[in-house]
Amino acid sequence: MIYRPRRLRTDEVIRGMVRETRMSPDSLVYPMFVVEGENIKEEIPSMPGQYRYSIDRMDEILEEIEQAGVKSVMLFGIPQHKDEVGSGAYSHEGIVQCALRHAKQSHPKLYLIADLCMCEYTSHGHCGILHGEKIDNDETLSYLQKIAVAQAEAGADMIAPSDMMDGRVAAIREALDANGFSDLPIMSYSVKFASAFYEPFRDAADSAPAFGDRKSYQMDFHNRREALKEAMLDVEEGADIVMVKPAMVYGDLIREVKDHTNIPVAAYSVSGEYAMIKATAAAGFINEERIMCELAVGAYRAGADIYITYFAKELAECMKRGLIG
């Protein structure tokens, strides 16, 4: 036989030498939840091992993340007060803005990404301004602009809009540039599906809609061409990074977006993916570490440059140990 592919699998050294998918802790982002109040470290029931932190205790997890070699954190805020227009999202003293200022001071080397959405802050749980039971897309854009500027002024290193309003990237870029933040990048949740994989997150962030669902603005998971359209529109509007969310069963679209764009692609391994692994491992049916690593490699192999995951710390440690990388 002339061709023997097994020649390149004979030992660990050669397997590592010819490995096609390379991973680094630099590409990992850890999502965390911050809440108003004091001395709070509250485990999220549907996400074992994940917690809501008050600002005075968030250094505990930031220290762990940094020690593991993870350099980037995405912040989600949970306010005590909610109203029709989500005013806590753009207030100077909003929970994410306060968390950004604290983290900048206590862990200046960490790269801080601010999730930009209104659902955690609105009394109705939807991602924009309502008229009756319908979201006004264009009116919402002005609120997203205010949120982006507030987050930038608080010290965010990147803005990540997740609302799925049409035209939001262009509107946010315009507002950032007009306020002196032309160097601040935007990572857009470009391909964000209306997914059942988000259920534990809604528990974590207290962001379930009070009525209806989000299918009028989040995407139909049957659609491939629409995913590419959304990604390309965000590129045209000035997104610096585009995201596919969820990750686990959307590898085909990570690859499609990667092949059709010329900017970095992020994949978000969401709360439902995390909860499924944790629950199945706790039942003794799978090896948690091996499954966690294999799913991560799958996202990178599909084309992800950035992997947003609640397993960021554990994956970084696995990379250090040479289990993946």
Q: Which residues of 246-272 are buried (b: 16+ CB within 10 A; e: fewer)?
A: bbbebbebbbbbbeebebbbbbbbbbb
The reply to whether 313 belongs to the active site is no
Q: Which amino acid, one-letter code, is at 252? A: D
Is there a catalytic annotation at residue 245? yes
For 15, 18, 175, 319, 324, the CA distances from 24, given in Å and listed in that order, are 17, 16, 33, 7, 9
- What per-residue string of b and e applies to 5-23 under the rule 16 or more CB within 10 Å gives b? eeeeeeeeeeeeeeeeeeb
Do 116 and 163 touch, CB atoms closer than 8 A?
yes
Name the active-site residue from 82, 245, 258, 278.
245
Helices 168-178 and 225-237 pack at an angle, to 10 degrees, of 20
The continuous run of DSSP H or E covering 289 comes out as helix 288-302
| CB-based contacts of 185, cutoff 8 Å, min separation 6 | 158, 159, 240, 241
Can you tell me the distance from the alpha carbon of 50 to that of 101, in angstroms, rounded to the nearest whole number?
Answer: 22
CA distance 234 to 186: 10
Q: How many angstroms separate the CA atoms of 86 and 230, rounded?
A: 25
Report residue 33 as tokens: 């939840």
Task: Measure the CA–CA gap between 128 and 303, rounded to whole angstroms.
Answer: 31
Exposed, middle or buried, 281 (CB in 10 Å: 0-12/13-18/19+)?
Answer: middle
Spot the catalytic one: 71, 82, 192, 258: 192
C-alpha span between 97 and 93 (Å, rounded): 6
Residues 104, 91, 208, 298, CA torsion sign: negative
Catalytic residue positions, numbered: 192, 245
